[in-house]
Amino acid sequence: MDDEKQMDRVQKIPLTELVPFKDHPFKVVEDESMLRTTESISMFGVLTPLIARPAEDGKFEIISGHRRAHAAEAVGLTDVPVIVRDMDDDVAKILVVDSNLQRENILPSERAFAYKMKAEAMKHQGSRSDLWIEGTSSQLGTKLRTDEQIARQVGESRNQIQRFIRLTNLIPEILEMVDQKRIAFNPAVELSYLKPEEQKNLLEAIDFTQATPSVSQAMRLKKLSQEGGCKLEDMCEILAEVKKGDLERVAFKSEQLRKYFPKSYTPRQMSDVILKLLDQWQKKRQCDKAR
């Protein structure tokens, strides 16, 4: 008991002895929220202690407080208040997720990997509620499915938890487009069923057509993939379709353009040539008008 009290007391630990949690699913970015945190710590110091666990080489692995540590370093602090606790990997992962899900703005990718990390940790420990840290998770018993337990804790449906976890199957470039809201959540879930190579081809198709898939288009791409393969030409043709409310956009089917280019040309190369020719045509028109 004395050892537990000793470990739970707040200690001042140098920032140089703190290391981030391995596979931390949340990003530390310089956004408006971080600016507010930095300003607060600059004025009042770190009011809420970080939580960490002993790591190798005498260092401490941050479980909760990555953003506070970043802000403290930014304002020139050399040490921060920390509560050090011994905990296994599964308990640590659950606490990492639970302590960050309360934030105002969480990216879809962060939520996706957080739910996946927590689900895997809960499955690994057998969803034993007696292993969960008090105050971080609801005591729901062991009869519920892992995704259902998470759903109840965060106020989502079990299906929505599964859909977020599906996003972890997206390649980083497409997942970043989801974070940037260039691809909506529902189409992204359908695209997560494409093979990695197909997703790379999709990036080319998006670049060539300057369009991102709607839900119905993403579902068609998914179906093509499941039926034996979704080719780049298929993707370009589907994405080039005029969508409802997008009737002003000029689009071409891939077979309309292929006859003008060598077979080896990618959609990106064809697009570059077309834009170059249009640029030359525009300059010629301007010269003709000037005469």
Q: Is 241 helix (H, G, I), strand (E, B) or coil?
A: coil
Question: What whole-number distance in Å separates Cα of residue 241 and Cα of residue 244?
Answer: 10
Q: What are the tens digits of pLDDT across the range 106-150? A: 899 999 999 999 999 998 877 444 433 333 344 444 456 888 899
- What is the arithmetic mean of pLDDT over 15-32? 88
What pLDDT is attached to residue 130?
40
Asked whether the whole model's pTM tops 0.85, one would answer: no
Work out the end-to-end distance of the chain between its first and last CA atoms, rounded to an integer number of angstroms: 94
Which residues make beta-bridge pairs with 64? 51
Give the Cα separation of 228 and 198 in Å (integer): 11
Token output for 69: 């540590």
pLDDT in tens, 160-210: 999 999 999 999 999 999 999 999 999 999 999 999 999 999 999 999 999
Is the distance from CB of 117 to CB of 23 less than 8 angstroms?
yes
Cα 94 to Cα 98, 120, 132, 268, distances in angstroms: 6, 9, 8, 43
The pLDDT assigned to 249 comes to 56
Domains and CATH numbers, the chain: 1-86 (3.90.1530.10), 170-258 (no CATH)
Averaged pLDDT of the chain:
85
pLDDT of residue 254: 66
